[in-house]
Chain A
Amino acid sequence: MKPLTTGAGSVQPPTSLADPFDHGNLEDPGPLHESLRAAGPVVHLSRYDTYALARYEQVHAALTDWQRFQSAAGVGLSNFRYEEPWRPPSLLLEADPPRHDAPRRVLSAIVGPRSLHRLRAKWAADAAGLVDRVLGTGDVVDVVPALAEAFPLRVFPGAVGIPADGRENLLPYGDHLFNAFGPPNDLVAAGAGRIAGLSAWVNGQCARDRLAPDGFGAAVWAAADRGDLTHEQAPLVVRSLLSAGVDTTVHGLSAVLYAFATHPDQWERLREQPSLARVAFDEAVRWESPVQTFFRTATTDVRVGGTVIPDGAKILMFLGAANRDPRRWTAPDRFDLSRDPSGHVGFGMGIHQCVGQHIARLEAESLLTALARRVSRIEPAGPVARHHNNTLRAWHSIPVRLHRK
């Protein structure tokens, strides 16, 4: 990976008039991604006066270079240098070192790969139970609500330790949060009415006395008791789990289920070799990129290709475009379990790389393994419908016929 270097002289980058957040591009971002990658290593989006990176090499470099591509000025379009954030910023996602260090260290230990082993058996049983129940309701199901939403809502809030009451609030909260990283368009306006109430509910769940003693949330408070965090930080770190941990996995699971519905040969492979479940999920995260975009802010004049991006400018990283960059991937549009998807940027890369990725993988592995045991074929059964979100590649509905073994 070549470092992005600063230096004298700057060429004008190609300009695009496109709005990546309009409904046409949210419905099908492929053509926009293709044209941005083709235009050059960096493209100026005149509509938002933002610099777009859509090739793998530059997206990877920007993700890992926290020194020059900061997050603390916001990872959405809004620039916290000049604008007030709509909610108190995340202590992880919207923080730079050194402030990022302690929350990151604490959360990495709590939801790290080693800590999740104790959840394996339970989540496998929960997944088997859910699949049995769904198969009991009939052969044609909409897997978005029935599996992709139901499974994370069943296991994740419980693992954090919040009560069962009101869990349904997590989805619209996350939907608005991920919309709010984009411009203040109709999607943001549509969520604005409910957000105060949803935020109040989510913030209420982060208090110590709301959280079950054996969950991730209580572990965050215990870290504060040890002094690894301050007690003021603890509720915001719990909030990170509740904000970033639900909608992302819902759409990640939808993505892998849609992939299998449309690639029956790959489902066949998974059934023959269920140990491919983890690879399958990461391949779906590469292929669909449930988190499509995040912004950074230049901390200094940064040279990308021949262009100098000025200090303070917003930079839009297209993770979804990087994950299908033919410069990096062979036949990138193919969902293929024989590919090694390692190195995709669907979970980001570098110091902000998704701290919950092991949770997401364990959820997916549990659900896919349970399905592979009982379902021989996932067949499309009607038109699918996307859900538009400024950041997420999201689904509204994926009706399928589940053929039992």
Chain B
Amino acid sequence: MAETRSLRVTGKEPVADGVVALTLADPGGARLPDWTPGAHIDLILPNGSVRQYSLCGDRWDAYTYTIAVLRETNGRGGSAYIHQDLDLGEAVGLGGPRNNFPLVPAERYLFIAGGIGITPLLPMIAQADLLGADWRLLYGGRRTASLAFGHDLAGYGARVHLRPEDRYGLLDLPGFLAAWQPGTRVYACGPAPLLAAVERACTGFPPHTLRTERFAAALTGPVRSMPFEIELARSKTVLTVPADSSVLDVITAAGADVLSSCRQGVCGTCEIIVLAGEPDHRDSVLDDTERAAGACMFACVSRSRSDRLVIDL
């Protein structure tokens, strides 16, 4: 499938039991869209399935993204595909980056990670450390060998508590959270039972203290790789968007007066109103509710899931 926005796999290496880290770069060597800690990207795999992965590399490197992928035994094949089949040099489609889990300013942070949930926290930790914040990490997993990046994190010293279950049992959340003081923000990412336990352990804290990200299983179905149609409702024109062109290019070539600016789905200039059809959002602007509503889209990067989109132009 020809993707209009794609990334090339430039590195692939195991980082823990069942976890590979992928390094991704623009095929033409261009800068990648900027991101902030807590952000994720959509990876669009060659079969059209979409998977979300947190960016866990260094944002000061504008040319590569790093993600870490856990092989899920009962998953729907996306992670198995990445582990087994996705080779160096191959291309994958890109959506985002988007951030539903931003690091807010604070003097103190308590980070809690379960397993692969460490990934969004890695850049947060780097940043908290850079800013001289007071922070601690509690990181659990099955065994020492399954704690991805555990070795790197150990370099931070006493701030980091690596707690593999086979040696320590379940995470001691109350003990860790006893360090809480007013103004401390708690960030947690990991499997649903861990997040539920963290929520219970944080009930006494003021509102907005705890921020969590769950790796939602409620992902949408595969995206289409086939061309689709765009109907310009006012001029009753129907245009075809081939797999390797953007909506923006097709409609502006047909004479529509749609402004754009960043062409990365960031600035929000090329918003178009969707009257019918289901957009395939690839931007960094809309929140989950707006994405689900499907009433607008950003023409520079977003596409269509349905055969036809009717837009207000």
**Which A residues have a C-beta under 8 Å from some C-beta of B?**
1, 3, 64-67, 97-99, 101-102, 105, 112-114, 226-230, 233, 275-276, 278-279, 282, 340-344, 347, 349-351, 353, 357-358
Contact = CB atoms under 8 A, between A and B. Distances in A.
A101 B34 CA distance: 11
Interface stretch (B79-87, B88-96, B101-109): B101-109
B10 interface: no
Nearest to B131: A98
27 contacts: A1-B30, A1-B31, A3-B30, A3-B31, A3-B63, A65-B31, A98-B103, A99-B105, A99-B131, A101-B36, A102-B103, A112-B268, A113-B268, A113-B271, A114-B296, A226-B208, A227-B104, A228-B102, A230-B105, A230-B106, A275-B257, A279-B257, A342-B261, A342-B270, A351-B34, A353-B261, A357-B269
Interface in B247-268: 252, 257, 259-263, 267-268
A344 B259 CA distance: 11
A341 B259 contact: yes
Interface in B198-223: 208-209
Contacts of B131: 98-99
Nearest to A226: B208
Given A112-B268, A114-B290, A342-B260, A102 B104 contact: yes
Contacts, number: 90
B130 interface: yes
Interface residues of B, number: 38
B83 to A, nearest CB: 32
Contacts of B29: 3
Contacts of A349: 261-262
A276 B257 CA distance: 7
A97 B259 contact: no
Given A102-B104, A278-B257, A113 B285 contact: yes
Nearest to A61: B31
Nearest to A223: B104
A67 B296 CA distance: 32
B36 A350 contact: no
A98 B132 CA distance: 12
A101 B103 CA distance: 9
Contact of B62 (A67, A340, A342): A67
Given A1-B30, A113-B285, A350-B34, A357 B62 contact: no
B127 interface: yes
B185 A227 contact: yes
Interface in B284-303: 285-286, 290, 296
Interface string B31-64: 1001011000000000000000000000110110
A341 B260 CA distance: 8
